[in-house]
Amino acid sequence: MSTSSSTRFCSPSTIRLAISTCPNDTFAFHAILENKIDLLGLKLDIELLDIQQLNEGLFNDRFDVAKASFHAALLLADRTVVLPSGSALGFGVGPLLLASKSDSLPIDFDSVTGGPALTLCPGEQTTAAMLFRLFYGRELSAGRIRIEHVVFSEIMQKLKQQKAEFGVCIHEGRFTWKEEGLYLVEDLGTRWEQETDSPLPLGGILASRELDRATVSRIQSVIRSSIEYGIAHRGETLSTMRTYAQACSDAVLWAHVDLYVNQWTVELGDVGRRALSVLSAKARERGIAPRPGLDIEIFPGF
């Protein structure tokens, strides 16, 4: 796939669309999945996957449009644009750094013995992993921590089995870690907010730059309509969320939606655009994203 500005714009007969199985995505895309709205002539081939699978699929040109971590979006800025609708961004939405044992708190990495402390992260290109590297880069460089990437749904189980000292927890685990018998080290989202005075941008919908503008515009319109339909028909979305949720109660499903679906999901707006600029700058400052490099671009901008 070409990555230059002279890329061949195309309008494929079928759009390869992928989203996560998380309740905020299945809520937002319920109307598309269940054909409740006008798809504006688009033929969609839809997959639902883990967030790191989505990131990897975009790197491998598997999808035309997909949900992705904003860390991945930064690395893919030359090949994709972010759609204004469909993002997970806000205050109080960040990943949690959890410990498997209460005597791990507070963390004193200088006193770690027996090798570096193992921290589980939900994927190399996830925003959660990027935040951990932003805030614990010194300990990583000093060899006091090592990272292992696993599927997000395995992290809490591995912590409970004492297979790692720490884990960066995302999605439904934000609401269930206490009942799972785990211990909070730090809310990485709260730390982000304190250091940047900005909501945390977790992930958004990316569209390939090879798609023509008219096609991307139709996709954006359909996604926004689906989100607005879900908000207007809230109860109707529950069966779709249940289908894909990781054994969550209805209360957890709604808590997830209430936290991650907000005004910036409908439209990123100026606040969302600023948050993405801050994320880009922080990642480049810490060497997590290449410098120089393209910043994340929001459609219509290419």
**Separation CA 130–CA 31 (nearest Å):** 32
When pLDDT is cut at 50, 70 and 90, the band that residue 176 belongs to is confident
Q: Determine contact, residues 279/75, Cβ cutoff 8 Å.
A: no
CATH 3.40.190.10 positions along the chain are: 15-90+201-285, 96-196
The string of pLDDT tens digits covering residues 39-56 is 999 999 999 998 889 999
Catalytic residues, which ones?
Answer: 171
Least confident of 170-179, 197-206, 282-291: 170-179
Mean model confidence pLDDT for the chain: 89
Domain formed by 15-90+201-285, architecture:
3-Layer(aba) Sandwich (3.40)
When pLDDT is cut at 50, 70 and 90, the band that residue 111 belongs to is low
When pLDDT is cut at 50, 70 and 90, the band that residue 8 belongs to is very low
Which residues make beta-bridge pairs with 96?
169, 187
Instruction: Please name which of 131, 190, 183, 130 lies closest in space to residue 156, comparing C-alpha atoms.
Output: 183
Return the SS3 of 199.
coil
According to the model, what pLDDT value does residue 84 have? 97
When pLDDT is cut at 50, 70 and 90, the band that residue 3 belongs to is very low
CA separation, residue 242 to residues 27, 182, 227, 295 (Å): 10, 25, 17, 36
pTM of the model: 0.88
The class of domain 96-196 in CATH terms is: alpha beta
